[in-house]
Amino acid sequence: MTSTVPPTLFTEPAPDERLKRAATALEEANFGVEILDDAAGARARVEHLIPEGATVFTGASETLRLSGIDEDINGSGRYESVKARSSSMDRATQVAEIWRMIACPDVIVGSVHAVTETGSLVTASASGSQLPGYAGAAARAIWVVGAQKVVPDLSTALSRVENHCLPLENERAMQAYGVPSALNRMLILNAEPHPGRGTVLLLREAIGF
């Protein structure tokens, strides 16, 4: 896929009118949407949205890492962290149990690679670990999304994933794991069948990639 859009479309925060168009379309598709000023606001809002003691899985996300939300969930002790628990489990003998924990937490928190002004959420993954929870297996889902991820339509969203996000994730994966990433799995959420399950926190600032 060759990008036919200006590169700045993928890096500059979308203005308020575009955020509002995306928010309206998402709400019409049964997603809860809140437009917040910045990552600090999202951090406070996530803490409010997740009941203390809930079982929570955080999808791999630079947005969560940079905002401090990942550490709040996995290091604060306020919640039952799936990542903390699974890190001590045997990947060879307990893999099925780990996948069940990852797929079906009380709450999954993460981000997506693109939000369209027509009301779709688009994300990709090399392992797929966050996708079952996003798609519906988790009782609740919360996505924190920087304004630079808002794009006009689905074709632009797919271009953003392949031409912008993948190179950056490749670089991160090589530094962290010594292997490149890959677009092995992709998820497009066009609507939420269960109103109240999914919440999108749209930020006015750019964060993550």
For residue 14, what is the DSSP state?
P
How much is the pTM?
Answer: 0.94
Q: What is the spatial distance between Cα 97 and Cα 99, in angstroms, rounded to a whole number?
A: 5
Per DSSP, the chain holds a count of helices (H) and strands (E) of 9, 10
Is residue 17 within 8 A of residue 62, CB to CB? The reply is no
Spelled out in words, what is the top-level CATH class assigned to the domain 7-203?
alpha beta
- Structure tokens that stand for 189 in this block: 């959420």
- Give residue-wise pLDDT tens across range 177-192: 898 999 999 999 999 9
Is residue 67 within 8 A of residue 38, CB to CB? The reply is no
Where do the structural domains in the chain lie, given as residue ranges? Answer: 7-203
Q: 3-state DSSP call for residue 181? A: coil
- Give residue-wise pLDDT tens across range 132-182: 999 999 999 999 999 999 999 999 999 999 999 999 999 998 998 898 999
Question: Which value, to the nearest 10 degrees, does the dihedral of the CA atoms of residues 12, 141, 175, 207 take?
Answer: 20
- Give residue-wise pLDDT tens across range 22-60: 999 999 999 999 999 999 999 999 999 999 999 999 999
pLDDT for the residue 27: 98
